[in-house]
Amino acid sequence: MKTTVPHLQKGDLVGVVALSSRVEPEKLGEALSFLEELGLHYIVGDTIYAQHHYLAGDDDIRLADFHEMVKNQQVKAIFCIKGGYGSARIAEKIDYALLEENPKIFWGFSDVTYLHCAINEYANLVTFHGPMLMATSKIDNLSKKMFFQLFSPMEIQYTEAISPLTTIAEGVARGELIGGNLHRLVNTVGTKFEVCTDGKILLLEERGEAIAKIDAMLQQLKQARKLEQLAGVVLGSFIETGSDEEELHAVMKDYFAELGIPVMAGFKFGHEYTNIAIPLGADAILDTQEKVLKILPGVY
């Protein structure tokens, strides 16, 4: 059972950081306006204006920015504003005990998948796989509404009312949610932050990778024995692959159809305008007959 993350209240202070690629400051206004619409106050970390090559400041600056937000007792949540690459570079130096002692909301996706794995394992916290703040002006209203799960417990039921779902392998499973961006999950293999999949429902999404590269990454997870003890698989948005949905699903069946676990595709989380926020570390039920992913309240 993951440590409970305190919910937000209107008027709370939250921190905004960039732990990956550098930020375009001229685009900052829309992201901060969204936090104001949620009724939140904010402080902006040093990384928002820092630059080091393609990164939002060097590793020391990004690490210090994260730690300062964790240590600040007034800050109730840490929002990553942008992805790209860079979070893996600071993962080894993060003080996870400090975060576990000061549990707070951690939100982001894409490159931040690496930190989701690390925090989930070493700080024992639920974290949130959701849209980067820099994209809030582009996501749809349903995706924006998903931020409200941060304010009060809610049972999330993802059905075909949101998007068409395709069964890759039938079944029902209950387990803890883990995962995110396929590329970044593969990056964890062979490190101390290697994604733990045993008994978990694995979420996968990807953008801009050819079908052969997707196949290669799945093959690496297979050979790393990350598919053997899964409870289920939830496939999100796979866009800009150069292949159609039929070919993508065929590859997925190669890897998942014979595992004896439920696998379903078509969920809108990832690099699209509909990006449904998922609490990683929360308990969920995946049912392919009912075509539903039900995320249970009470643990986040």
Catalytic residues: 110, 205, 271
With contact defined as beta carbons under 8 Å apart, do 127 and 280 qualify? yes
Q: What span, in angstroms and rounded, lies between the C-alpha atoms of 14 and 31?
A: 13
When computed from its CA atoms, the radius of gyration of the chain, rounded to whole angstroms, is 18
Q: Is 20 helix (H, G, I), strand (E, B) or coil?
A: coil
Q: If you write DSSP's letter for every residue of 114-128 in order, what string do you get?
A: HHHHHHHHHT-B-EE
With contact defined as beta carbons under 8 Å apart, do 270 and 106 qualify? no
Q: What span, in angstroms and rounded, lies between the C-alpha atoms of 48 and 161?
A: 37
With contact defined as beta carbons under 8 Å apart, do 243 and 138 qualify? no
Q: In sequence order, what are the beta bridge partners of 128?
A: 107, 279
Write down the H helix ranges in 16-78. 28-37, 59-71
